[in-house]
Copies of this chain bind each other. A is one copy, B any other.
Amino acid sequence: MNSDTPSQHISHRFDEELAAVKSQLFEMGGIVEKQVTDAIYALLEVDSALAEQVVANDEQINDMEVTVDEDCALILARRQPAASDLRLVLSIIKTTTDLERIGDEAGKMAKQAIMLAEEGRAPRGYVEIRHIGESVARMLAQALDSFVREDIELALKVAQEDKAVDIEYGTAIRAMVTYMMEDPRSISRVMSIMWSLRALERIGDHARNIAEHVIYLVKGDDVRHVGLKQMAKTVHNERD
């Protein structure tokens, strides 16, 4: 016989299960991150083979979402976690949804890249794609990093960056509308840039969502609709 008590056994296996599902989530996060940077690269470099690969990889992300969710449901049913363990499982469930949607958006962008590879490069918009693309790729990396390290300062930073991205997105869209008016023959190709900008903006939103799940996990407060000021107060332990 082992000298551990049964409850230590159970608690040890529970910790292992939580660690396993967390590591699955982060593996999924790493793959989604690569999908996003590959989709951006494929669009900028007119690399339709890479874009096709991004589209094909989406299935793997979908499968991971289902697996992580199943494992979370099993943990809830068998282990009946409370307090911070419960928050961890709930944060993981929410985060997989956002990661899956980010994967979808990367796929949509890759499809626009394929279209542009066929029709020829758009006359404009690549500066905007590169700029906003770099911002949201960084936001996603930081959001995942903030989850791994339970770093709520970093999570707050992601939410703050999302606001800047939304403003840049608005400016870029207005610029694209102007280009289309100046050169109507390019409308179809500039539309591909617009849909790609939209996908990037949505990826930024989902990165912010992930950051909000991290703050919920660590602080126990739901900061999804409170605004940046209140979010900073929550992170810095200031109460109203």
Contact = CB atoms under 8 A, between A and B. Distances in A.
Interface of A: 59, 62-63, 65-66, 69-70, 73, 76-77, 80, 82-83, 86-87, 90, 93-94, 97, 177, 180-181, 184-185, 187-188, 191, 198, 222, 224-225
Contacts of A87: 73
A90 B77 CA distance: 11
20 contacts: A62-B224, A62-B225, A65-B225, A66-B222, A66-B224, A66-B225, A69-B222, A70-B222, A73-B86, A73-B87, A73-B90, A76-B90, A77-B82, A77-B86, A80-B80, A177-B187, A177-B188, A180-B180, A184-B187, A187-B187
Given A73-B87, A77-B82, 17 more contacts: A62-B225, A63-B225, A65-B224, A66-B222, A66-B225, A69-B222, A73-B86, A73-B90, A76-B90, A80-B80, A90-B93, A97-B97, A177-B191, A180-B180, A181-B184, A181-B187, A198-B198
Decide if the interface of chain A is mainly helix, strand, loop or mixed.
helix
Nearest to A74: B86
Q: Which 4 A-B residue pairings sit nearest by Cβ, starting from the closest?
A: A80-B80, A62-B225, A184-B184, A77-B82
Give this chain's copy count. 2
A81 to B, nearest CB: 8
Nearest to A182: B184
